[in-house]
A = this chain, B = another copy of it.
Amino acid sequence: MHLNSEDLRHKIKTANLRPTQQRLALADLLFAQGNRHVTAERLHNEAMSSGVTVSLATIYNNLHQFTAAGLLREVVVDSSRSYFDTNVDPHHHFFHEKTGELEDIPRNELSVDNIPTLPEGTEISSVDVIVRVTARRD
């Protein structure tokens, strides 16, 4: 759960991407520590405040390239913006509606059963469970 710059370089090369300055910086923010959930804007802010100059266009390019390479997964929980999750294994999420925070629910800690017959001629692509939570009022 701790990747050094060599690990990151390797991860990027394996995805057939060039280890550019910006890409490495983003990979560092995303993958160096444990799992993360970020929006493009948040990642942009983090990059800026960590002293790396990256344009928003490049943030989007890289988020999509990482996603295409299977290094990230997009999570659809909010109609106004996209979230990207560094945990690409099947799992679910808690979504805090007020703060916009996402939190993983490991796949084995929640079970979805008895999925009915699929629509004619289709197969499952993924099963996404979102447990939306709000501050408890009591």
**Copies of this chain in the oligomer:** 2
Among A23-31, A51-59, A61-69, A116-124, the stretch in contact with B: A116-124
Are B110 and A111 in contact, CB atoms less than 8 angstroms apart? no
User: Chain B's nearest CB lies how many Å from the CB of A111?
Assistant: 5
Are B109 and A94 in contact, CB atoms less than 8 angstroms apart? no
| B-side contacts of A127, CB under 8 Å | 129-132
Chain A residue total in the interface (Cβ 8 A): 39
Q: Which residue of B lies closest to A94 (CB)?
A: B119
Q: Is A2 an interface residue (CB 8 A)?
A: no
Interface of chain A residues 72 through 108 with chain B (CB within 8 A): 74, 76-79, 81-82, 94, 96-97, 103, 105
Are A125 and B132 in contact, CB atoms less than 8 angstroms apart? yes
- Give A119 to B128 CA distance when docked, in angstroms: 19
| B-side contacts of A135, CB under 8 Å | 121-123
Q: Which of B94, B124, B136 contacts A133 (CB 8 A)?
A: B124
- Give A131 to B126 CA distance when docked, in angstroms: 6
User: Chain B's nearest CB lies how many Å from the CB of A135?
Assistant: 6
